[in-house]
Amino acid sequence: MGIGEAAARALAPGGNKLALVARSREKLEKVAAQVEALGGEAHVIVADLANPDDAARVVPEAVAALGGADVLVNNAGVGIASTVASMKMGDMRQLMEVNLFSVVRLMQDVVPVMKQQGGGHIINISSVVSKIALPTAGGYAASKFALNGISDAARVELAADNIRVTTLCPGRVESNFHRNLLGGARRPVGPPPWTPEQVAGAIVAAVKDRPRERVLGFRNRLLVGLQRLSPGLVARVMGRMYNRTIRPALTRDGGA
């Protein structure tokens, strides 16, 4: 289970109407059945958000099916495991297409709908690496740093239209994400992972509370706080970790 499926299940109760977006119709229909069993309604949209044409039809189709758009959750994402020096530009372009450009496109498409309705809420799923980049995750961090910047600007621009923008920053989540990285495989490091259900719970809480931003998990908040107070110390610790564990593995695999 990933964050999207868990979030759909968590948001389903109460008769909520959901538009589910992913590349696999089979998986979407499975989740849609779960949503309906929990009392919600689900509309399936098969789309590859790395394809700009697919991204362009998501919001119009969702609005036509649901009759509006109260909340947009931008959760689609792809990761990359590579040093900056060895990163393939094709992988980086694909990463940015999904993690940043598709998000901007969906935001641009949904904002006029929300303005006409009198308000709405956009929730962008970022990452703790948008606050502190990790070795071999520079490309992914770049996409999430950019997402935070877009979210921060949009939050100010849309406040007068009663459109809230929330950024959620989880750490590692136990899902297929780390098993489907571009650029090769890397053993995840950092605090123990959250479950998709825990992140889904944070999404549900954000729908209710509409916060500006949340870094999820005490250890992640502690790490981000330490980064702000002593970035040099954090860099030295990460440097030792990289040189002792990650770099030797990359050298053996020919990826350093």
Q: What is the pLDDT of residues 97-134, one digit of tens each?
A: 999 999 999 999 999 999 999 999 999 999 999 999 88
Alpha carbon distance 161, 18 (integer Å): 23
Alpha carbon distance 127, 112 (integer Å): 27
Fold for domain 3-217?
Answer: Rossmann fold (3.40.50)
pLDDT digits (tens, 9 = 90+) for 218-252: 989 998 999 899 989 888 888 887 788 777 766 55
Of 32, 42, 80, 140, the catalytic one is 140
Calculate the alpha carbon distances from 99 to 49, 79, 103, 124 in Å: 9, 9, 7, 10
- The residue among 135 and 63 whose pLDDT is bigger is 63
Q: Report residue 184's pLDDT band, with 50, 70 and 90 as the boundaries.
A: low
Closest CA to 128 of 224, 1, 15: 224
Q: Structure tokens of 112?
A: 């006029």
Alpha carbon distance 173, 232 (integer Å): 27
Q: Where are the beta strands (DSSP E) in 59-136?
A: 71-74, 120-125
Alpha carbon distance 161, 114 (integer Å): 8
Q: Please compute Rg for the chain using Cα positions.
A: 19
242 is catalytic: no
pLDDT of residue 175 exceeding 80, the answer is no
pLDDT digits (tens, 9 = 90+) for 149-160: 999 999 999 999
DSSP 126: -
The pLDDT, as a whole number, for residue 254 is 54
Q: Structure tokens of 139?
A: 């490309």
Closest CA to 78 of 190, 27, 2: 2
